[in-house]
Amino acid sequence: MTSVHLASLSDRHRIEDEESDPSGGDSESDSADDAAQLGAAPRARVRDLLAATRGHRSRITTALLLAVLAAGLALVEPLLAMRAIETAGVGADITSAAVLLVAVFIAQAVVDAFSHYTLRQCGEGIVLGLRLRMVARLLRLPVRTLDRGRTGDLLSRTTADTTLLRDVIAYDIVDVLSGGVVVIGGAVMMIAIDPPLFLLVLCTVLLTGPLLLFMMSGVRRATAHAQDNLGGMSADLDRALTAIRTVRAARAEEREQERIGERAHATYRANLRVARLDSIIGPAIGFAAHGSLILVLIVGGARVAGGAISLGDLVAFLLYVTYIAAPMVGLFQVGAMLQKGVAALQRINEVTALPAEPAGAADPGPRDPVRPDAPALDLREVWFRYPDKDEDVLRGLSFSVPARGYVALVGASGAGKSTVFALIERFYAQDRGQILVNGVDGRQLSTSDCRGQIGLVEQNAPVLHGSLRDNITYAAPEADEQSVRRIVELTGLTDLVRRLPAGLDTQVGEHGVLLSGGERQRVAIARALLPDPAVLLMDEPTSQLDSVTERALTEVLQRIARHCALLVIAHRMSTVRSAHRIVVLDGGRVCASGTHEQLAVTSPLYRRLAVNQFELDVVDNSVG
């Protein structure tokens, strides 16, 4: 539920407490901006890929040893083939030589299969660990960080980038090592068989090597650019799908398609740059491999004819050329893949390097004792300014909510109402002043302990995918059936539960689409009340309801106020008039407080709010 809270509160901050400053830009510059918002991690290097194998190195070592053993068996095969040919050349029986050759072939295949399976197992373990670590960090990031990030890009980093990194670490790095064994061992055997032929092969490789190294330097940049654009495309698509009803109602399908299409085309162009580099690298490697083989056939045939080497030597040499060709191709291609892995690791590190939200108490000193006679919630001279703003949003704000009291918070847009909720919930920390819960300074409590005493119901009342029971028990999964039934009755959900086919176990659909607006509000209230908080915060619970549902929910609020302290951001007259006390905010301060009848007479700002935001005729009646 935390992620849902953060999203809606951040939206209200941008709408209510800040002035939006939309700016245009192309997809590529947007991708750079997205990356810059996260990118505080040091630049990743190839050797940093090894750090990601921590916890799996024993298995990777086992896989490597198996791969080396398979490579060693492969190096023996040409020698056995040469021996069989020479045995056949003198007319001797080659049965034993052939059997031994086949046995080595089979052993090499079996060992290679075990090596690949072990690598696959390691790879899946690595990507699991990375994803769990990233998910743990994402769910604990400070709200100010999430306000600047984009959900779709974060999802892309958690899925696509971790998969790419897995492939590089689990397969390509080991391919480098095992392939290196084959290449070095094959080169030694080729030198032993015929040094002139080996020099011929070496010259062919050296002709293409510098070109390949030059091409690989561009692969990393192109891959990073492609991954950034892919993350941006995911973010834009997530944005459109989350607000699909708004998109349809505004007939904005074409605009959203164009926006997402620009990201897709930017990803396409970046991937084409990678493809162009790969298209040069592949033929260059093929030229070196095939050119070496052809030259060995020509020159080697001449040397056999001249008696410098035997036919068996030439066959063994050709087999070694064939055997090292694939690892050579792999070595050069792995160079490009390593650069892709480094780019993916950089994007992952940009997330894991972000500082998590502090979990402990901001003030670790001795905790004040809980005072039964203290207000449930007490704000004392609270000052706050958003990190990227020049002006204070709250300026010495002070008010309290008594236990089992019902206080409505009203004020013009930008007065700081949503900011008050964000500070109480510890989504942000006040710059000065105190926020006390049951007489205890919130800074003396851990984040979890503080939030455990405070329930939050947002204006849009988010309902999560799952059953009705899952949603109600989300903040208290260990709650017993009796407690759940009590909350269901308190929040007026009894009739709904009876009406649903599976009762509490009925699925409510994505975002609770199978429930009405009033039902979603009550489910959100039940979810917040089940942990038995000392204070319940509600962000205009009746703003989107019809008059009948509004009256029913107002009665629910009155019942709730008899069980815990209730602080409500109010925009509707029914919510305001039913409150025991109304606190009026103006410019981050309390400018008036009292009952509706008192404020309608004594507070010009409240009367103006009543005219503009509430029901004029009710105010007129109360005043007259």
Which tokens in the block code for residue 376? 């449930």
CA distance 458 to 536: 11
What is the predicted pLDDT for the residue at 89?
A: 73
Q: What is the pLDDT of residue 98?
A: 84
CA 210 – CA 422 distance, rounded (Å): 58
Q: What is the mean pLDDT of residues 540-548?
A: 67
Percent of residues, the chain, with pLDDT higher than 90: 15
Same fold, 39-352 and 377-460+533-623: no
Residues 6+ apart with CB under 8 A from 481: none
pLDDT at position 28 is: 44
User: For the ranges 38-47, 188-197, 273-282, 292-301, which has the lowest average pLDDT?
Assistant: 38-47
DSSP of 329-397: HHHHHHHHHHHHHHHHHHHHHHHHTSPPPP-S-SS-SPPPPP-TTS-SEEEEEEEE--TT-SS-SEEEE
Residue with more model confidence, 208 or 484: 484
Domains of the chain by residue range:
39-352, 377-460+533-623
Q: What is the mean pLDDT of residues 587-591?
A: 92
Which of 9-13, 109-113, 218-222, 512-516 has the lowest average pLDDT?
Answer: 9-13
d(CA 440, CA 218): 58
pLDDT of residue 35: 45
The lowest-confidence range among 110-119, 366-375, 458-467 is 366-375
Cβ–Cβ < 8 Å for 143, 427: yes
SS3 content of the chain, % helix, strand, coil (to 5): 65, 10, 25
Pick among 3.40.630.30, 3.40.109.10, 3.40.50.300, 1.10.287.1080: CATH of 377-460+533-623: 3.40.50.300
**pLDDT tens profile 48-89:** 887 778 888 888 888 888 888 888 888 888 888 877 877 777
Band the pLDDT of 259: cuts 50, 70, 90. confident
The least confident of 262-271, 417-426, 508-517, 583-592 is 508-517
Where is 457: in which H helix or E strand?
A: strand 454-457
Crossing angle of helices 253-305/27-38, nearest 10°?
Answer: 90
Mean local confidence (pLDDT), 203-208: 77
End-to-end CA, the chain: 46
Mean pLDDT over residues 589-614, rounded? 88
Q: What distance in Å separates the CA atoms of residue 199 and residue 592, rounded to the nearest whole number?
A: 92
Say what the pLDDT of residue 38 is. Answer: 58
What is the residue-averaged pLDDT of the chain? 79
Contact at 8 Å (CB) between 568 and 405?
Answer: no
Predicted confidence (pLDDT) per residue in 283-317, tens digit: 777 777 777 778 888 888 898 888 888 888 888 88
Specify the fold of 39-352.
Answer: ABC transporter transmembrane region fold (1.20.1560)
Quick one: average pLDDT of 110-117? 88
Q: Which residue has the higher pLDDT, 206 or 130?
A: 130
pTM: 0.68
Q: Is the pLDDT of residue 515 over 80?
A: yes
326 membership: H or E segment, kind and range: helix 311-352
- Residue with more model confidence, 71 or 580: 580
409 and 569 Cβ atoms separated by less than 8 Å: yes
SS3 annotation, 164-233:
HHHHHHHHHHHHHHHHHHHHHHHHHHHHHHCHHHHHHHHHHHHHHHHHHHHHHHHHHHHHHHHHHHHHHH
Tell which residue, 321, 218, 331, 223, has the closest CA to residue 285. 331
CA-to-CA distance for 184 and 75, rounded, in angstroms?
Answer: 10
pLDDT in tens, 349-376: 888 888 888 877 666 666 667 777 889 9
On the question of pLDDT at 586 being above 60, the answer is yes
| CA dist., res. 133 & res. 135, Å (int) | 6
pLDDT of residue 322: 80
Least confident of 107-116, 251-260, 520-529: 251-260
Residues 6+ apart with CB under 8 A from 513: none
Mean pLDDT of 149-171: 80
Q: Is the pLDDT of residue 194 over 50?
A: yes
What does the block give as tokens for 510? 């994505």
Q: Is the pLDDT of residue 7 over 60?
A: no
What pLDDT, on the 0 to 100 scale, is given for residue 362?
65
Burial class (CB in 10 A: 0-12, 13-18, 19+), 615: middle
pLDDT at 377: 93
Percent of the chain exceeding pLDDT 70 equals 84
* pLDDT value of position 621: 43
* H or E, element range at 261: helix 253-305
Least-confidence region, from 140-144, 211-215, 424-428, 577-581: 211-215
Query: Amino acid letter at 292?
Result: S
Compare 236 and 594 and report the one with higher pLDDT: 594
pLDDT tens figures, 14-42: 333 333 333 334 444 444 444 445 545 67
| Helix, strand, or coil (residue 68) | helix
Scan for tokens 């971790």, then name that residue.
Answer: 162
Question: Can you list the alpha helix ranges (DSSP code H) found in 414-533?
Answer: 417-424, 447-452, 468-472, 481-490, 494-499, 517-529
Q: CB of 614 within 8 A of CB of 576? A: yes
> Which pLDDT does position 27 carry in this prediction?
43
Q: Cβ of 498: how many Cβ atoms within 10 Å?
A: 8
